[in-house]
Amino acid sequence: MLNIYEAKAANQRRSFVIVFLFAVFVAAAIYILANAWGAYTGSPIDSLGIVGIALIVSGISSFASYYYSDKIILGISGARRATPQEDRLFTQVVENLCIGAGIPRPALYVIDDPSPNAFATGRDQNHAAICATSGLLAKLNRSELEGVFGHELTHIKNYDTRLMAVVAVMVGLIALLGDWFLRITWFGGRRNREEGEVGTIFLILGIVFAILSPFVGMLIQLAISRRREFMADAGSVEITRQPEDLISALKKISDDPTPMRNANKATAHLYIENPFKKTGHGKVGWFSGLFDTHPPVAERIKILKSML
């Protein structure tokens, strides 16, 4: 039996370990790919330069989605600003939770979509936004909505958009490096190839890493995403102290058969529950679970029940 403080501490520890592992993995992959590049071209300066270029390319592609993350949802078709008159319950509930969490109230948006779901985004607490579907607001009662928005507010409080943006840049960096390395070894002409034993080892390792590391990086990225979901669930309970409401909200959301019309892969990890509904897969084994942004609802409910 975990109390909420222990659950929170355990989540933070696990999250730290997994992010730390990710950092070690990224460092190792960069080190090996850069050395392999150096061994292939025979010039270590080249290899450092190529890491820099890859970092810039990967950074630029993710920077916009990070920095303007709160503005981008406006571009998602159908998103409109919530007003206290029209969306009384939505604004009231979020306002109240913000008082409890001690954070400024984020901008609120409504997407006209019958599928019940919600997500949060924004680079920090002052540029945060919470978006709910009209289906969510219509199908859940007040207490359940508190559970859902407590979850989203915890994403904001924990700077999850920022973390996932950094992780995405790093995964992109490794993928680019691996891709470029495979290209030059495939198509590029041989230049002053270093014929040492070390050079050969790095070359072989480089090819292995170039092929595998984008994949491994993505798997760790998804593991981080799932860990942050557990953290957001625990954070929601910390604000509302009502695990049973979040449980019934999660049940309602996952039992609803309608998939999101405007689901967006870039923000999928910030939704309360995977916006791409799985259909037709009766058995979901641990292997296909590796590719999910969200942990299975049954497991989330099990953990929430232990907090009752």
Partner 1 sequence: MIYVLLIIGVILLIWAVTTYNFFVGSKARIKAAVQEIGNQLKRQADLIPNLEESTKGYLSHEKGIFEMLTEARKAIAAAVDSGDVQKMSEAGTQLAQVLPSLRVAVESNPELKASEVVINLMDELRDTSDKIMYARRLVIDLTADFNVKRATVPSNIIANAFGFAELPGLITPQEGEHLEVSEQDLETPKVKLN
> Between 95 and 179, whose beta carbon lies closer to partner 1?
95
Q: Which of 3, 61, 83, 141 binds partner 1 (CB under 8 A)?
A: 141
> Between 134 and 274, whose beta carbon lies closer to partner 1?
134
Q: Which of 14, 81, 142, 305 binds partner 1 (CB under 8 A)?
A: 142
Nearest distance in Å: CB 109, partner 1: 13
146 belongs to the catalytic site: no
Nearest distance in Å: CB 146, partner 1: 9
* Residue pair 111/133 in contact by the 8 Å Cβ criterion: yes
Could you give the 3-state DSSP secondary structure of residue 121? strand
Q: How many residues does the chain have?
A: 308
Helices (H), 42-159: 44-67, 69-75, 88-101, 134-139, 142-157
221-250 positions binding partner 1, by CB under 8 A: 239, 241
Q: How many residues bind partner 1 (CB under 8 A)?
A: 25
Strands 129-133 and 107-111: parallel
Give the CA distances from residue 168 to residues 160, 172, 175, 253, 284, in Å, rounded to whole numbers and listed in that order.
12, 6, 10, 27, 26
Nearest distance in Å: CB 126, partner 1: 16
Q: Which of 79, 140, 153, 234 binds partner 1 (CB under 8 A)?
A: 140
Give the CA distances from residue 77 to residues 139, 174, 213, in Å, rounded to whole numbers and listed in that order.
22, 33, 35
Nearest distance in Å: CB 35, partner 1: 29
User: Token digits for 14?
Assistant: 């696990």
Q: Would you count residue 123 as binding partner 1 (CB under 8 A)? A: no
Nearest distance in Å: CB 198, partner 1: 32
Binding region for partner 1 (CB under 8 A) out of 32-40, 130-138, 200-208, 266-274: 130-138
Q: Would you count residue 6 as binding partner 1 (CB under 8 A)? A: no
Bridge partners (DSSP) of residue 236 are none
Residue tagged active-site, from 144, 146, 152, 229: 152
* Residue pair 117/133 in contact by the 8 Å Cβ criterion: yes
137: CB partners within 8 A, 6+ apart = 87, 89, 90, 110, 145
73-102 positions binding partner 1, by CB under 8 A: 86-90, 92, 95-97, 99-102
| Residues at the contact surface with partner 1, assessed by CB under 8 A | 86-90, 92, 95-97, 99-102, 110, 112, 134, 137-143, 239, 241
